Amino acid sequence: MKVFVLGGDGFCGWPCAVNLADSGHDVVIVDNLSRRKIDVDLGVESLTLRAWEQVGGRTMRFVPLDIARDYEPLLELLRTERPEAIVHFAEQRAAPYSMKTSATKRYTVDNNVNGTHNLLAAIVESGLDVHVVHLGTMGVYGYGSHRGATIPEGYLTVEVPQADGSRFSEQILHPTNPGSVYHMTKTLDQLLFFYYNKNDGIRITDLHQGIVWGTNTALTEKDPRLTNRFDYDGDYGTVLNRFLMQAAIGYPLTVHGTGGQTRAFIHIRDSVRCVQLALDNPPSAGEKVKIFNQMTESHRVADLAEKVAALTGARVDHLPNPRNEAIENDLIVDNRCFLELGLQPTTLDDGLLAEVVDVARRWADRCDRSKIPCRSAWTTRQAEAISTGG
């Protein structure tokens, strides 16, 4: 199958592209390289692709293109290549970055919402029947308002009272409750998918992914040059990968507030596998948007820190929380769809120790300690708390 991987130069997109190429698909990576420094962009990109070919990987092609801005080239690419599936990773994905300034808020909205909309409009204009697999986030459901209820896979069945006292039952998109401008763009994506699926019949799978931890898959482990990114900084690093790096360099683990925030997690290997399962099980013609909760376990941030500390001897520091969020929340998630399709999760208890060792070995000497603290505050109240330290 010919598959476009939009954002295939990224942390999740690259191992996914490599896996799809290895499984025999004809992969075209489309990326504007916005996560790389301009002066080294092209050199680094071609090095990664060359390294993949040097270890015997099946050839992938690369098209530099900004899907949020370059509508006509995107349409032309669809018309000439005629992909059967498109995996869409190509968004600004950091909540702290999206909350830094009005410029980063606007960039995140412009980039993510335009990119997704351009893709959908171009598919309609091209007349192709393409299966779109999108990487969304568990954060669309929000953290804190579920009061012990299990979060279903995308849709909620509600009863609507009528004037005559009767009720009818309906399935609606689960209400959204974004916790940052970044998460808000993912909730807007969800509505765009709903609309284009209803109006134009585009077949879409929206993966509500948890926080990805770990660095490598069996394929990217083949050569150090095949791991193209490990984010540990305050803007782009995700919580568990940050703790792993902090432990590796002897920096106290940075727990925000009480650490009572509960989040959903998935290992990068399972993320890659889930995308493949989604591609292998596309919605049929006329089917509504498929939504999967792409996560394997939930943990409180404080418990994660304790696990990492127990393995490494790291100290845990509680810092003022830069985020405007519930101090504590529960998170009970239905993730049966992927388990029923055969996903066998890599659990934290199985994989954490190997990851601790791997991060220390590969990345610790490249760490810039000044980038570790989170400086991006959600509101002026949080900014003041960070600057006064309490």
Question: Closest by alpha carbon to 359, among 211, 238, 234?
Answer: 238
Cβ within 8 Å of residue 349, ≥6 positions away: none
Residues 94-123 binding ligand NAD (CB under 6 A) are 111, 115
Q: Determine, following the binding rule CB under 6 A, whether residue 7 of this chain makes contact with ligand NAD.
A: yes
Q: In this complex, which beta carbon is closest to ligand NAD, that of residue 92 or of residue 262?
A: 92
Q: Contact, 134 vs 85, CB < 8 A? A: no
Q: Mind giving me the DSSP string for 15-44?
A: HHHHHHHHTT-EEEEEE--TTS-TTTHHHH
Of 11-19, 278-286, 316-324, 337-345, which segment contacts ligand NAD by CB under 6 A? 11-19
Q: In this complex, which beta carbon is closest to ligand NAD, that of residue 134 or of residue 203?
A: 134
Q: Mind giving me the DSSP string for 245-311?
A: HHHHTTPPEEEETTS--EEEEEEHHHHHHHHHHHHHSPPPTTPPPEEEEE-SEEEEHHHHHHHHHHH
Angle at 345 between CA 92 and CA 91, to 5 degrees: 10
Map residues 360-389 to x or -, x wherever contact with ligand NAD holds by CB under 6 A. Answer: ------------------------------
CA gap 97, 254 in Å, rounded: 18
Map residues 295-314 to x or -, x wherever contact with ligand NAD holds by CB under 6 A. Answer: --------------------
Q: Contact, 173 vs 154, CB < 8 A? A: yes
**Beta carbon of residue 230, minimum distance to ligand NAD (angstroms, whole number):** 10
Q: Determine, following the binding rule CB under 6 A, whether residue 211 of this chain makes contact with ligand NAD.
A: yes
**Beta carbon of residue 238, minimum distance to ligand NAD (angstroms, whole number):** 5
Of 46-54, 62-70, 281-289, 320-328, which segment contacts ligand NAD by CB under 6 A? 62-70
Q: In this complex, which beta carbon is closest to ligand NAD, that of residue 50 or of residue 315?
A: 50
CA gap 378, 70 in Å, rounded: 31
Structure-block tokens of residue 25: 């698909």
The question of whether 100 is a catalytic residue gets the answer no
Q: Contact, 346 vs 296, CB < 8 A? A: yes
Q: Determine, following the binding rule CB under 6 A, whether residue 133 of this chain makes contact with ligand NAD.
A: no
Among 212, 239, 244, 278, binds ligand NAD (CB under 6 A): 212
**Beta carbon of residue 90, minimum distance to ligand NAD (angstroms, whole number):** 4
Q: Determine, following the binding rule CB under 6 A, whether residue 209 of this chain makes contact with ligand NAD.
A: yes
**Beta carbon of residue 202, minimum distance to ligand NAD (angstroms, whole number):** 18
Q: Determine, following the binding rule CB under 6 A, whether residue 47 of this chain makes contact with ligand NAD.
A: no
Q: Cα dihedral sign for 97, 101, 103, 108? A: positive
Task: Work out the end-to-end distance of the chain between its first and last CA atoms, rounded to an integer number of angstroms.
Answer: 54
Q: Contact, 98 vs 180, CB < 8 A? A: yes
The question of whether 71 is a catalytic residue gets the answer no
Map residues 150-189 to x or -, x wherever contact with ligand NAD holds by CB under 6 A. Answer: ----------------------------------------
Q: Determine, following the binding rule CB under 6 A, whether residue 333 of this chain makes contact with ligand NAD.
A: no
Q: Cα dihedral sign for 133, 19, 47, 267? A: positive
**Beta carbon of residue 212, minimum distance to ligand NAD (angstroms, whole number):** 4
Residues 221-260 binding ligand NAD (CB under 6 A) are 229, 238
The question of whether 347 is a catalytic residue gets the answer no
Residues that bind ligand NAD (CB under 6 A): 7, 9-13, 31-35, 66-68, 89-93, 111, 115, 135, 137, 209, 211-212, 229, 238
